[in-house]
Structure 1
Amino acid sequence: MQKSLSILFLVTAALASCQAPKQSNYQFQVSDLEPNLITLASDEFQGRRPFTAGEEITIKFLEDEFKKLGLEPGNGDSYYQDVPMVSIVSKSSETMELKNPNSSVSLTGFQDFVMWTQKTDSLVEIKDAEVVFAGFGIVAPEYGWDDYKNIDVKGKIVVVLVNDPGFGTEDVSLFKGNTMTYYGRWTYKYEEAARQGALGCLIVHNTIPAGYGFNVIQGKHHQPILYLDDRGKETNKLGFEGWLTLPSAKKLFEMAGKNDSELLSAARKPDFQGMPLGVNLSASIQVEAEYNVSKNVVAKLTGETKPEEYLIYTAHWDHFGIGKPDETGDSIYNGALDNASGTAALLALAKAFATDQTPDRSVIFLAVTAEEQGLWGSAYYAENPIYPKQKTVANINMDGINPYGKMKDVSIIGSGQSEMEDLLNVELEKLGRYSAPEPNPVAGYYFRSDHFNFAKIGIPALYFGTGIDHVEKGKEYGKQLQDEYVAVYYHKPSDEYHTSRWNLDGAVDDVQILYNVGKSLANSDKWPNWKAGSEFKAVRDSYMKSSPTQSTDK
């Protein structure tokens, strides 16, 4: 009898243990982040550019760290996912010639324009191609918008404005007002021009609506640019892509007898009609193409009770390698904040999950390649997922972790998009913090990091940035810090780790939140979805109709 009671007690205790919710016990410290951040941002890693010795050093380091933590290979028996790519060096002609029957203008490469191509032919030559102004270059039926209506751009050069019509209007009914939509992204504008049959597309640069200076674009001048290897696939490609400085665009418009301010005003109206400018353009590009394979690095922690349901954490490991020296002579683009910090956070999260109680669902740690070149590593994963999208609960992405000290808030990138935001707010409230919409919605950050490729295939994605409500010095100071980063450090050799200006206490807080959100989701039966009105909701719903649990309230 005593033996039976003992067995009953053990069985009851075991059942109680299984039913009790798993607690998140891991508490992050600066030491979880700083050593790996220092290593990844060091000169030894040579700026972590794909296809260089810096890539080899980086991916081997990540593989070794995942192995030390006892994590499984995330792609069968390998920690790598091959990403076939092509590196194209576009050596544009020194000048771009514009002419009409009455005048001519010669623009200087790098200074006035930057252009490149996705074509792998040895030479792309543009001779006296007709130039057409197509407003913002947008076709958006849901907004009743078509900048290409009634104009033929086949074989012609399209000139378009940066951002979308809502910017600067304060009118949230016009697209999304000052919040950039995907139609405002430069990638979309090139894609649409190609669909329309254009020979080339030039975007008129303007720092405020673009969200960055022309110096960022100049970083592409005669430099290798990576693309996915699409040999054997039917694709629409422009002969060339590029940007014009605003002063250069004004010269073009003046040749056509147009005023740039009047064109901008007209382009913001739904009845805008594109127009030929009566100007012809000549330029050329010498092309050097090299096919190679870069790598995503992926590790897995198998879930205890739901091993075939997956939560994916992502961060991009790459940066710009060794390039044009700055005014100090430094030519290594270390990318400390962007994105050694996010990659160090990925490793810290992997350590926490490996150390804490095993979650119910499987957790994947994915360090992707070639984000800086066009989100290519995550794009390849989205096209060739290791784990089925129907079984992927969510994505949590990290691209830059707070270097400024403790903040009361975090900035949600793409506020109002998905129910992941609600899970985040629950965890923030527990710690006396809060979320706020991103302070610079015009910059279109939602379309500028790897979570976007997960969103495009319907997987709910969370990406939050550093807040601005500094615990000690308030919002104005916090916003000043972010503005300074964009002006002084973003995509420059100066983005290095220095203890004199970095304070990782806030980074620790943010990584703790990222962990708590993921841990909660990995130990639940919730399937967060996109919110009503999100352009990604229909994508998710289309292949998840048979799933019994699709919302955070189930």
Structure 2
Amino acid sequence: MNERHGPTRLWVLAIGLLALPSVAFWTAGCSRRAAVVDPARDLMEIARRAADEPIFDTAAALSPDRLRAHASFLADGALAGRFPGTAGIDAAEEYIRRRLVKVGAVSPPATDDHAHGVALFASDFDPGRTGVTVSADGRVIAVGSAPLAMRPLPVTDLGSVEAQLVFAGYGITAPEHDWDDYREIDVDGRIVLVLRYEPGAFDADAGFPSAELTDHSLFATKAAAARNRGAVGMIVVTAPTHGDEPEDLRTPMTLGLDPRAIAARWARSRVTGFSAAQISRRTASEMIAAVGLDLETVQSIADSGLSPAAVDLSGLIARIDVEPAEARPVAARNIVGFLSATGSPSPPGGARWIVIGAHHDHLGSFGDTADAIYHGADDNASGVAGVLELAAATSLAERPVNVAFATFTAEEEGLLGSRAFVRDAVIPPERIALMVNLDMIGRNPDKPVRVYTSPAADGFADAVARAAEVRGLEVSLRRGVVEEVSDHYPFHQAGVPVVSVFTGLHDDYHRVTDTADRLDYDRMSRILTVLADALTEYAQQLRQSTGQ
């Protein structure tokens, strides 16, 4: 306990400093040896047992070991990446709900047993009518079928296109790097085969002189370059040296709050009259073998800067078919619980609120082995763990104001859960004095913690600065910076002062290697302790200023 605070004012209240037992079987999710998804397993019962572990009775609120227990369960392979509409996210939601109940958080009137229902609609492609076919002399030599060997790209138009295939290297024209893959080749009316990324990708000593991939590596940039030269389609394949992880070729699914919104999203990204798809390396190898080459040779030619014309595919005809499936409903949930201000009725009437939130969804999986699962430990099991531990600490302390704890669904699909939360006024926005969002708070210990605040939350930024100085935590305050990148944004749009806490991107971001063993739990504990101190100070100021 920090001696600056009396026992009734302290938001952060240690309840024990005991040695901890090893966490149960779900900690296998910390490594790439995570549990294989088994439909026969009762994930809901596993979630309940995980939420009831003795560690939560013996360890201090906000402690590294409690944070590890939360993140290890949520990022376990058994939850298969927590994609909306799956059994894995249902189990994550049950775990979160049960932990909120355990600390006494009450279900708001607008929810059903802590669940705020979010009706989503999903749209993807018809696998029976979506694929890539390559033929030579009228004979089919390679077929890439959705969803395992081919996926439509966001820029693709619908329908079918068939044309001669032409190799176009990386499909990049970059005068600033003296690079032009379209020199000496004619792609007018043809389909280009291009390598993903860019020359020397992931090799600091090769390719373009940049520490990170440039915009030339984007699908949209490649599509524009091909379309501007008259190409009618583009097929992309990952080069052999550009990643050894299994390829995620799931047909892209678009989620939205209504079918019209889904159609509008596709319309914004689509290039009219241009078909685009990514195929597996295996399909590409079968295709290229027909002209006596292999992918390694093709990549070598592309990386060397030789003209792509050195790869002659003139005998190959490619066909790209892209047909949509009907939009279908997907049931999703935000999980919400609140703790009333000390001495206030439950639920409180017209009082002001602080909302602390994080998204609990992630990208799902494309197979049933650990290296085909997007575990989503930092993104965003770390943030959910933070919300649960702040709830635990808050339940043990005197509360100057009402505090709600919310985890949101479908953030990865466009902040859909938080948009629905605001739209449905689960807590009316005009009654929310502050929204604090935790998204990816577990990595980059050598860099300052980024704290983004809207202008109306400047007072909280000051409180964070003071708490961080006392606790010896390096923070970077980004005052007045609010971007549409996470769940604080819909609250900001509704006029709520917002804060977003973020420790930065890293090489495991949106990859299957984002596992729980890579989080820095000691630093997460320090971050949350600073936030708890700042929340204590800010809540006291809020009560004094509003007379609550």
Quote the offset at 1:52 in angstroms. 0.7
Q: 1:47 to 1:524 in 2, by over 3 A?
A: same
Structure 2 residue 538 is the aligned partner of structure 1 residue 521: yes
Preserved CA contact (<8 Å) 1:36 1:344: yes
* Partners of 2:352 and 2:482 in 1: CA distance: 28
* Partners of 1:401 and 1:517 in 2: CA distance: 17
The one of 494, 505, 514 aligned to 1:457:
494
Q: 1:60 to 1:234 in 2, by over 3 A?
A: closer
1:294-333 map, 5 Å: 294-304=332-342, 307=348, 308-323=351-366, 330-333=371-374
Preserved CA contact (<8 Å) 2:488 2:499: yes
Structure 1 residue ranges without an equivalent (≥5)? 1-18, 97-107, 118-122, 129-185, 190-201, 206-212, 249-281, 468-481, 528-547
Which SS does the other structure have where 1:413 is aligned? strand
Preserved CA contact (<8 Å) 1:47 1:335: yes
The one of 83, 86, 89 aligned to 2:124:
89
1:23-38 map, 5 Å: 23-27=10-14, 28-38=62-72
Structure 2 residue 382 is the aligned partner of structure 1 residue 382: no
Quote the offset at 1:375 in angstroms. 0.8
Q: 1:462 to 1:454 in 2, by over 3 A?
A: same
* Partners of 1:329 and 1:350 in 2: CA distance: 31
* Partners of 2:101 and 2:325 in 1: CA distance: 41
Show CA shifts across 1:191-232 (max 9, x none): xxxxxxxxxxx9xx9xxxxxxx9999x96851322111357x
Structure 2 residue 79 is the aligned partner of structure 1 residue 39: no
- Aligned residue number for residue 150 of structure 1: none
One-letter code aligned to 2:79: F
- Aligned residue number for residue 513 of structure 2: 494
* Partners of 2:102 and 2:444 in 1: CA distance: 30
Q: Percent identity?
A: 23
- Aligned residue number for residue 72 of structure 1: 106
Quote the offset at 1:125 in angstroms. 4.4
Please give the TM-score of this superposition, normalised by the length of structure 2. 0.55
Show CA shifts across 1:133-168 (max 9, x none): xxxxxxxxxxxxxxxxxxxxxxxxxxxxxxxxxxxx
Preserved CA contact (<8 Å) 1:30 1:504: yes
Structure 2 residue 56 is the aligned partner of structure 1 residue 22: no
Structure 2 residue ranges without an equivalent (≥5)? 1-5, 15-61, 134-144, 163-217, 221-232, 237-241, 279-319
Preserved CA contact (<8 Å) 2:448 2:476: yes
Show CA shifts across 1:257-309 (max 9, x none): xxxxxxxxxxxxxxxxxxxxxxxxx9743224221220000001011366421
Which SS does the other structure have where 1:505 is aligned? helix
1:146-225 map, 5 Å: 222-225=251-254
* Partners of 2:249 and 2:546 in 1: CA distance: 46
Q: 1:300 to 1:89 in 2, by over 3 A?
A: same
Quote the offset at 1:234 in angstroms. 12
Show CA shifts across 1:92-120 (max 9, x none): 95579xxxxxxxxxxx9999971279xxx
Structure 2 residue 269 is the aligned partner of structure 1 residue 241: yes
The 10-residue stretch of structure 1 (83-92 or 453-462) with the greater mean CA deviation from structure 2 = 83-92
Quote the offset at 1:355 in angstroms. 1.4
One-letter code aligned to 2:341: G
Quote the offset at 1:40 in angstroms. 0.9
Structure 2 residue 423 is the aligned partner of structure 1 residue 352: no
Which SS does the other structure have where 1:422 is aligned? helix
- Aligned residue number for residue 139 of structure 1: none
- Aligned residue number for residue 409 of structure 1: 448
* Partners of 1:377 and 1:425 in 2: CA distance: 30
The one of 431, 436, 441 aligned to 1:391:
431
Structure 2 residue 435 is the aligned partner of structure 1 residue 435: no
Structure 2 residue 503 is the aligned partner of structure 1 residue 466: yes
The one of 302, 319, 323 aligned to 1:285:
323
Which SS does the other structure have where 1:33 is aligned? helix
One-letter code aligned to 1:26: L
* Partners of 1:416 and 1:525 in 2: CA distance: 16
One-letter code aligned to 2:471: L
The one of 461, 472, 475 aligned to 1:421:
461
One-letter code aligned to 1:301: L
Preserved CA contact (<8 Å) 1:22 1:523: no
* Partners of 2:263 and 2:96 in 1: CA distance: 34
Which SS does the other structure have where 1:366 is aligned? strand
One-letter code aligned to 2:523: G
Give RMSD over aligned pairs.
4.5
One-letter code aligned to 1:224: M
* Partners of 1:435 and 1:70 in 2: CA distance: 32
- Aligned residue number for residue 401 of structure 2: 361
Q: 1:459 to 1:343 in 2, by over 3 A?
A: same
Preserved CA contact (<8 Å) 1:414 1:446: no
Quote the offset at 1:411 in angstroms. 1.5
Show CA shifts across 1:427-457 (max 9, x none): 222323443257xx9xx98321101111111
Quote the offset at 1:319 in angstroms. 0.8
* Partners of 1:450 and 1:220 in 2: CA distance: 27
Preserved CA contact (<8 Å) 1:75 1:298: no
Preserved CA contact (<8 Å) 1:24 1:519: yes
The 10-residue stretch of structure 1 (285-294 or 385-394) with the greater mean CA deviation from structure 2 = 285-294
Quote the offset at 1:515 in angstroms. 1.6
